[in-house]
Amino acid sequence: MATLFNEKIDSLVYFTIGTGVGAGEIVNGHFIGDIGHPEVGHVRLKRHPDDLDFKGICPYHGDCLEGLVSGPTFEARTGKKGQDIPLTDHVWDIMAFYVAQAAIQETLLFRPAKIVFGGGVVSEPFLKKVRAQFKELLNNYVDVGDLDKYIVMPLVKNNGSATVGDFALAVEELNK
């Protein structure tokens, strides 16, 4: 069992969406993976009907999760960096559709207590769109509780969770 800022939690999925997409899963207090780390960024997704012409940017799969939602996809789609595109632009709705699918896959595979999204592409207004898509696509198939508590951003601001996590792992190794 891990303690996440005084919240005891046995399982979670942590996504980072930036120049690429990665994720790690912890179930029953243990990382998932054996012969390597999970490649969650390369899962396949159902395409958004308004995004069928975009080929994706992944050099291996084209339109996998990373090829559709990583930071560089903004420039490939629009010619602009993501931070220059207002959240009212439809491209954010398309991205939320894909990110919600990834969250649903993790939910149905691992049933984590929480899904955390960090990285340069993620903001709270964007996660609001992701939660709405998640709710619609999951269609109440399983109960995950309050989506504002289930799909969250890291508690440490400015993507500092990675640093805190590194130190926590180092302390764990030191104590072995």
pLDDT tens-digit profile of 67-110? 999 999 999 999 999 999 999 999 999 999 999 999 999 999 99
Q: How many CA atoms, within 13 angstroms, populate the side-chain half-sphere of residue 60?
A: 9
Instruction: Go through the domains of the chain in sequence order and give each one's CATH number.
Output: 2-174 (3.30.420.40)
Element (H, E) at 132: helix 124-138
pLDDT at 158 > cutoff 70 = no
Report, as an integer, the average pLDDT of 51-75: 96
Whether the pTM exceeds 0.85: the reply is yes
pLDDT, residue 84, reads 95
- pLDDT bracket for residue 37 (50, 70, 90): confident
151 backbone φψ class: left, alpha, beta (φ>0; ψ -120 to 50): beta
Residues 6+ apart with CB under 8 A from 7: none
d(CA 22, CA 102): 11
pLDDT at 2 > cutoff 60 = no
SS3 95: helix
Report, as an integer, the average pLDDT of 139-168: 81
